[in-house]
Amino acid sequence: MFFGYLTMYLYDGTEIKTKGFLFGYTDMVWIAITVQSAGGILVALVIKYSDNIMKGFATSLAIIIACIVSMVLFDFQLTILFTLGTIMVIFSIFIYSKPDLILYVPIFNVIFGDKSVLL
């Protein structure tokens, strides 16, 4: 943060002193700040009052909702590669949070049947 403030005052110090730090903040900027802050608090609450598996479900649901909203608002075209990548990311979230889950997938159970490989 120190270097951020230093850079801010080096480049825009005089303008900040005359117009103020919050000059140019529009309603959309405040909405973005509020949404990001609320998202951070929600993640902290999920981690505190729930377990890591629930956080994985929340992250996966966020990815799916963001994809659907992008398709509706921004005319995003869903491709096979994007779908495959999304599935792999969601799968990796759950495997990272609980590595023993990989043994419940039949093909991986054959490959990683020995649990010492996962440790």
**What is the spatial distance between Cα 30 and Cα 113, in angstroms, rounded to a whole number?**
52
Map tokens 């903040």 to a residue: 25
All structural domains of the chain with their residue ranges: 1-49, 50-119
- Residue 74 DSSP SS3: coil
Whole-prediction pTM value? 0.46
For 16-41, write each residue's pLDDT tens digit. Answer: 889 988 888 999 999 999 999 998 88
The C-alpha angle with vertex 29 and arms to 24 and 35, in degrees rounded to 5, equals: 160
For 40-84, write each residue's pLDDT tens digit. Answer: 888 788 777 777 667 777 777 888 888 888 888 888 888 899 889
**What is the spatial distance between Cα 96 and Cα 38, in angstroms, rounded to a whole number?**
25
- Check: CB of residue 76 under 8 Å from CB of residue 70: yes
